[in-house]
Amino acid sequence: MSASFASALAAARDAAAAQHYPQGTLYVVATPIGNLADIGLRALHVLQLVDAIACEDTRHTQALLRAYGIDTKSLLSVHRHNEAQGAQEVVRRLQLGQRVAYASDAGTPGVSDPGARVVAAVVAAGLRVMPLPGASSVTTVLSATGAEGEESGFVFFGFLPAKAGERQQAVESLRQEPRAVVLLEAPHRIAVLAESLAVLGGRPLTVGRELTKQFEQIATMACEAFPAWLQADADRARGEFALVLHPERVVDDGAQALRVLRLLVAELPVKTAVRLAAEITGASRNTLYPAALAMKGEAES
């Protein structure tokens, strides 16, 4: 254990020990996506407190616990190949009054990771689930792009299908998606993903590689430039990837936006007309709203 985590364990006890941690509860614990210092104080306390830890890879979790100086617990292997059976073992232990934590290999469980079936089984059994928030590659990469925008929101897609035909269909659906899209990919498939996204041409893409780790890299480029960017440096294909496909912006002149707005205002409430006109034309809602009020006033006078 690093000496720095000895003080972290003490801080975790001071900050979190006074809170209530009921028995017969599943604690869904977010763990770091790379940097061990990103663990939460409450997560450290709960990992020390629980009777058992269900995890994606017992070897990985055991190494994580060892790094933090936490005594080895009863570790239950629960991964995508045995989630059904593992979930029932978790439920059994909870029914005996045990506290059980669930942790995937990295980040927040149940988000493109095993864990969702475990949580569903616990809920179906009428038992409590307590989430402990923390690291997530999804929100980490999104926060570094500025891609969401207050009007558009974002969509979490995760991993594209492995089969070529299904992957191509998925990419075509992304072509029509006006919001930012968060994607995940493993290093052995990143070149295939790059070629698949290249058909989206000039649409901006932010690539996050090895997030929170020593060789973290975040770069924004056109989708069509992604394959060449990967090939320019062999190191760029290493590590886990989280990517953001930026929103597609439709460039339109003001006159066309106003024509669309006028048609919509005649049939719809002002706010609805403005929202739809902005989505159709790419014009700013702040620009369209006063124009819509003026059009509504003309129609009523």
In the chain, what are the domain boundaries? 3-135, 138-245, 254-300
Q: What's the average model confidence in pLDDT over 178-201?
A: 95
Q: Would 3-135 and 138-245 be classified into the same CATH topology?
A: no
Q: What's the average model confidence in pLDDT over 149-175?
A: 88
Topology annotation, domain 3-135: Cobalt-precorrin-4 Transmethylase; domain 1 (3.40.1010)
CB 217 within 8 A of CB 209: yes
Amino acid at 32: P
Q: What pLDDT is stored for residue 177 in this prediction?
A: 87
> For the segment 206-248, what is each residue's pLDDT rounded down to a tens digit?
999 999 999 999 999 999 999 999 999 999 999 999 999 998 7
What average pLDDT does the structure give for the chain?
91
Q: What pLDDT is stored for residue 4 in this prediction?
A: 74
Amino acid at 223: C
The pLDDT of residue 150 is above 50: no
For residue 276, the number of C-alpha atoms closer than 13 Å in the C-beta half-sphere is 16
CB atoms within 10 A of CB 152: 18
Locate 125 and state its tokens.
């059994």
What Cα–Cα distance (Å) separates residue 223 from each residue in 4, 64, 219, 250?
42, 36, 12, 17
Local confidence band at 253 (pLDDT 50, 70, 90 cut-offs) = low
Local confidence band at 84 (pLDDT 50, 70, 90 cut-offs) = confident
The pLDDT of residue 96 is above 80: yes
DSSP 12-23: HHHHHTTS---S
Local confidence band at 284 (pLDDT 50, 70, 90 cut-offs) = confident
Q: What pLDDT is stored for residue 197 in this prediction?
A: 97
CB 211 within 8 A of CB 34: yes
d(CA 289, CA 154): 23
Global pTM reads 0.79
Segment among 4-8, 19-23, 130-134, 296-300 with least mean pLDDT: 296-300
List 158's β-bridge partners, or say none.
183
Asked: is 138-245 a CATH 3.30.950.10 domain? The reply is yes
